[in-house]
Amino acid sequence: MLRKKVVKAEKIDPTVKSVLILLGAGTFLAASIVFPGLPLILKPYLKQKHQDEIKEWKKFNQWRLRSVLKRMREQKLVEFVNNRKDQMIKITEGGKRRYLNYKLDEMELVPKWDGKWRLIVYDIPNKFKNERDHFRLFLKKMKFLKLQKSVYLTPYKCEDEIEYLRQVLRVTDDIKVLKVSQLENDHAYREYFGL
């Protein structure tokens, strides 16, 4: 009789980014899952309702996960909050901001032209200089064409990405997206974007 060889999956060392992405996406984390000294009152409930989410956390090296969570707590990226039956690990406003920055790094525009031009016009006040610089860097990263100091152009759909930036940077009224069907002398713009 042959014995099956059981291969254990190797545990992953978590990073601040991987933990924030799980928490930012709304993945549930009871502190008792990673801190075994805490009472696991919700054990039957967790097994039924959040099995997939527990698997996400269990793929990490638990000792390293505890270490990363403690460091994130000190940096005020997460907080431990009590609910009725267990202590929960929750992302803070600072953590959400960092999470959103990670998501910005992953954004890309789909290079498919629908025949409309998008003009991005912004007037972000000096008191929000960091937000303005961050917004400008994003536009450059996404290869928007600078027409004037605060006016950029793209032929690709970007409304969702711009709205996301408005929310992240908290400058919702200072950025406008104008969708136009034609621009004067647009052959240079078409050439720039390879259309």
pLDDT of 83 > 70? The answer is no
Give the model's confidence band at 35: pLDDT under 50 very low, under 70 low, under 90 confident, else very high: low
179 vs 63, higher pLDDT: 179
Bridge partners of 88?
30, 81
Give the model's confidence band at 48: pLDDT under 50 very low, under 70 low, under 90 confident, else very high: very low
pLDDT of 43 > 60? The answer is no
Identity at 154, one-letter amino acid code: T
Give the pLDDT mean for 50-69: 72
* pTM listed for this prediction: 0.59
Give the model's confidence band at 155: pLDDT under 50 very low, under 70 low, under 90 confident, else very high: very high
What is the CATH code for 16-102? 1.10.10
| Distance from the Cα of residue 195 to its chain's centroid | 31
Q: Is 123 annotated as a binding residue?
A: yes
Bridge partners of 119?
153, 178
Bridge partners of 175?
122
Give the model's pLDDT for residue 33: 53
Question: Which of 54, 48, 66 lies closest to 22, judged by CA?
Answer: 54
- Domain residues of the chain, as ranges? 16-102, 108-193
DSSP state, 5?
P
CATH 3.30.70.240 for domain 108-193: yes
pLDDT of 7 > 70? The answer is no
pLDDT of 41 > 60? The answer is no
